[in-house]
Amino acid sequence: MSEAPAISAAQPGLQRALRVAIIGAGPAGVYAADILTKSSEVKDGDLKVSIDLFDQYPAPYGLIRYGVAPDHPRIKGIVTALHKVLDRGDIRFIGNVTYGRDLTLGDMRGFYDAVIFATGALKDAPLDIPGVDLEGSFGGADFVSWYDGHPDVSREWPLTAREVAVIGNGNVALDVARMLSKHADDLLVTEIPDNVYQALKASPVTDVHVFGRRGPAQVKFTPLELRELSHARDVDIVLYPEDFEFDEASDEAIKTNNQVKTMVNTLANWIAEDQDTGASRRLHLHFLQSPVEIYDSPETPGKVAGIRFERMELDGTGNVHGTGEYEDYSVQAVYRAVGYRGSELAEIQYDARRGVIPNEGGRVLDEDGAPIAGLYTTGWIKRGPVGLIGHTKGDALETIGCLLEDRDTLPPAENPDEHAIIGLLEERGVEYTTWEGWNELDAHERALGEAWTQAAADGGAAAGSGAPVARERVKVVPREDMVRISRKGQNQQ
């Protein structure tokens, strides 16, 4: 397919649209596209925009589809909002396209006036302690990718441990702990892939221990995440009174921060109520424990046999220091959930220490710290993996504000015709997917859910609670299947 001729911005009487490419179709990318289309410059007719939203996956939604536990009901609301934005038809989704492989920076700059990187942060932050490479030591982000049916990870996961340690006190740590301790049958109402259900169903786990380095008033998870732990059937929550240490900074946080106050009160109530019901599984919450070493044993050389922690104490400011007291826990698996990191992108500067693209207000910087005309970033790859999904809206607003300030000085695309980029992808044999393709895949997954629900009803299958199972969807996992189903829908348009 030949490329359409370039349209020159200099042609008299012709106002062409500002062409913008966004790399990453998760919340950050969609929010940026939405904010740009709703900007006063566009609404008033002063500026026309044409936006292409690229993603390396065949499906949109990024973190929402592949980075959040499937049993979070509030996520459905976010998906609904993102769907409404992309379903308007003024933002073009182009999936199954990998930046740096299928398209280069030179390609993007040739077809677009501005490029926004919204690639997020999907890798595990490192934990530098001895034994971290033992068999049975896992990254939390890798586990999340597995149970969310990421198309590029193995379908298998070794769930053989009876006792498990999860290191971290953020939302991801609680997600990992909850998925490990929750009974698989209680996840059937979610979009959990079948291979994940089968593996969790066979898990012999009895005890999951979550360890935080600081005290209960310094945890990073949210009240909603914490309360969800108590909703798990046949899972006892175990707390330890000696872990409930508070300093001046803790007391001040409890007085002035409603979120901190709610979480501390929730934990205190759990201790007072005694959560021991004799359940078959236990989820332990530990505080003031800093990991020192993951170790093996003579009986299981090279495999996780336990983990050692140093007892910490608060120093008055909410920070901690070691006491020199150590405690060992016998576990057969360790999950490290100490944070995420962004990945380096081809031809773009990368701050390896922070795991972000160096930027100033969203303007991408070169090696000398100067802004690069036409290149921008937003979301976690811009500021690091902190804050909630909603915080990405503020990031996007700042970045789009910078882009609009710069619009008269942006280097014009050599070929801004919107059909030209599709021609290039087809010429290179890239099996790209579209919004119409996603609608086809979405309908297919929902049909799988309906079929499973009917089969379960016919066979008398039920969730562990005894209630009939109704599945909204069953997620398609293999990339080739996602692409095949999506492109079937595209070709029928």
Q: Using CA atoms, how far apart are residues 320 and 437, in angstroms rounded to an integer? A: 51
For residue 346, is it within any domain? yes
pLDDT number for residue 391: 76
Q: What is the pLDDT of residues 33-60, one digit of tens each?
A: 999 999 999 998 889 999 999 999 999 9
Q: Among 400, 430, 460, which residue terminates a domain?
A: 430
Angle, alpha carbons 329-334-336 (nearest 5°):
125
Q: Among 308, 340, 372, which residue terminates a domain?
A: 340
Q: Using CA atoms, how far apart are residues 102 and 430, in angstroms rounded to an integer? A: 7
251: helix, strand or coil: helix
DSSP assignment string, 255-272: HH-HHHHHHHHHHHHHHH
Backbone angles phi, psi at 128, to 5 degrees: -95, 80
Angle, alpha carbons 299-304-307 (nearest 5°):
115
pLDDT number for residue 272: 84
Q: Among 340, 355, 387, which residue terminates a domain?
A: 340
Q: What is the pLDDT of residues 428-475, one digit of tens each?
A: 999 999 999 999 999 999 999 999 888 877 775 544 445 567 888 899
| CATH code of residue 193 | 3.50.50.60
Residue 116 Cα to chain centre, angstroms: 19
Exposure string for 150-159, b = 16+ CB within 10 A, e = fewer: bbebeeebeb
pLDDT number for residue 140: 95
Residues in the chain: 493
For residue 4, is it within any domain? no
Closest among 30, 25, 22 to 393, alpha carbons compared: 30
Query: The whole model's pTM is what?
Result: 0.91
Q: Using CA atoms, how far apart are residues 84 and 206, in angstroms rounded to an integer? A: 42
For residue 13, is it within any domain? no
Q: Using CA atoms, how far apart are residues 58 and 479, in angstroms rounded to an integer? A: 7
Whether 61 contacts 26, CB under 8 Å? yes
Same domain, 301 and 153: yes
Q: Using CA atoms, how far apart are residues 32 and 28, in angstroms rounded to an integer? A: 6
What is the count of structural domains for the chain?
A: 3
User: pLDDT under 50 in the chain at which residues?
Assistant: 1-14, 462-465
Identify the domain containing residue 401 by its residue range. Answer: 18-120+342-430
pLDDT number for residue 452: 87
